[in-house]
Amino acid sequence: MKKLLNRVDDVVVESLAGLAAAHPCLVKLHPSVKAVLRADAPGDKVAVVSGGGSGHEPLHGGYVGYGMLDAACPGEVFTSPTPDQMYEAAKAVDGGKGVLFIVKNYTGDVMNFQMAADMLAGEGIAVEQVVVDDDVAVQDSLYTAGRRGVGGTVLIEKIVGAKAQAGGSLAEVKSLCERVNSQVRSMGMALTSCAVPAAGKPTFELGEDEMEIGIGIHGEPGRKRMKLKPAKEIVEMMAEAIVADLPFKAGDEVLAFLNGMGGTPQMELYLAYNDLANFLAGKGLKIARSLVGNYITSLEMQGFSITLLKLDEEMKALWDAPVETAGLRWGR
């Protein structure tokens, strides 16, 4: 698998340098640890911080900015960042109202964010954490006890970031974060593998007529490998599992998020979204908001994930609130 890079060891730092160079009005890099910080002073508000392994861009660094994250801590590719990154990033953006850590449910991330939280608490900084676990595909996985955190993370970071931007207290922001996490469900699939730069070869092999349903965002195994089917059947198989899980009920208003895994043509994402919209209409679910594109990726993997969030009025208003980040942006 070919990669655009200079030295394998430098891919993350050089990519972060490019992010900062491209968006100087939105983000800056922490002077001493690998962390992306808001370029402006977030001011007198709860600081919202996330992070995790690199390779899922724009998550999380691309979501730092007005109305979303105050800081993001990128680890090496598919590897948890370290507690000192999280600690320093939180210190840099804490405005005295406390810090919320949004943590995807992977063992390393959970452990390291916990250590960082302990370090901050030891200094009297108020810290809360919410672990995101929206993937209905598998109960446990290669890297997780319990469900994995996947596409729902994007929606959570947007909605919770807007709440913090609007002046919500740490308790309110945490409570909203837990509520959104409790109402969001996801599942992914892959047509092809990704390849970690340091490995230089595909993480797994799929036959020319095969796909993997329920795959994780690191290429870890899903529910089953099967023959490739028409898009409509794939979408329905995934959406059925998601709808049944919450369960979503006729009349519910949802945010429908069709996410590309990184290497899927946009034409195919919209085609699959069309199948999803038809399926949801058939179930009596109302798509009140939608998002289609590459928002949480697995390097160059071809495939997509579906995320459904059951909306309420507060979530809708917070979704619509202005956001200015490299990865998600609409006006104030």
Task: Just list the catalytic residues.
Answer: 56, 218
Closest approach, Cβ 196 to a second copy, in A, equals 11
Q: Are 78 and 141 in contact (CB under 8 A)?
A: no
Compute the distance between CA of residue 194 and CA of residue 262 in angstroms, rounded to an integer.
9
Q: Between residues 58 and 149, which has the closer beta carbon with respect to a second copy?
A: 58
Nearer to a second copy, 5 or 244 (CB): 5
What residue type is assigned to position 187 of the chain? M
**Contact partners, residue 72, CB within 8 Å, separation at least 6:** 35, 36, 49, 50, 51, 60, 61, 63, 64, 89
| Residue length of the chain | 332
Identify the H or E element spanning 314.
helix 313-320
**Residue where the block lists tokens 């922001």:** 173
Residues with Cβ within 8 Å of residue 189, at least 6 apart in sequence: 211, 212, 213, 214, 215, 222, 234, 238, 303, 304, 305
- In the chain, the amino acid numbered 290 is S
254 touches 315 (CB < 8 A): no
- Report, in Å, the least distance between residue 252 CB and a second copy: 18
The distance from CA 300 to its chain's CA centroid, rounded to whole angstroms, is: 16
CB of 219 to a second copy, least distance (A): 13
The span from the CA of 29 to the CA of 37, in Å, is: 6
* Chain residues that interact with a second copy, rule: CB under 8 A: 2-7, 11-12, 14-19, 21-23, 54-55, 57-58, 62, 77, 191-192, 194, 208-209, 211, 228, 230-232, 234, 258, 262-275, 277, 287, 290, 292, 294, 297, 299-300, 302, 304, 322, 324, 326, 329-332
Side-chain-facing half-sphere of 273: CA atoms under 13 Å: 20
Choose between 186 and 297: whose C-beta lies nearer to a second copy.
Answer: 297
* Packed helices 170-182 and 313-320: angle between N→C axes, nearest 10 degrees: 110
Distant-in-sequence, close-in-space partners of 227: CB < 8 Å, separation ≥ 6:
209, 210, 211
Q: Which is nearer to a second copy, 72 or 269 (CB)?
A: 269
Q: Which is nearer to a second copy, 23 or 218 (CB)?
A: 23
Of the pair 44, 227, the CB lying nearest a second copy is at 227
Min. distance of Cβ 51 from a second copy in angstroms? Answer: 15
Report the nearest approach of a second copy to the CB of residue 182 (Å): 25
Please report how close the Cβ of residue 112 comes to a second copy at its closest, in angstroms.
21
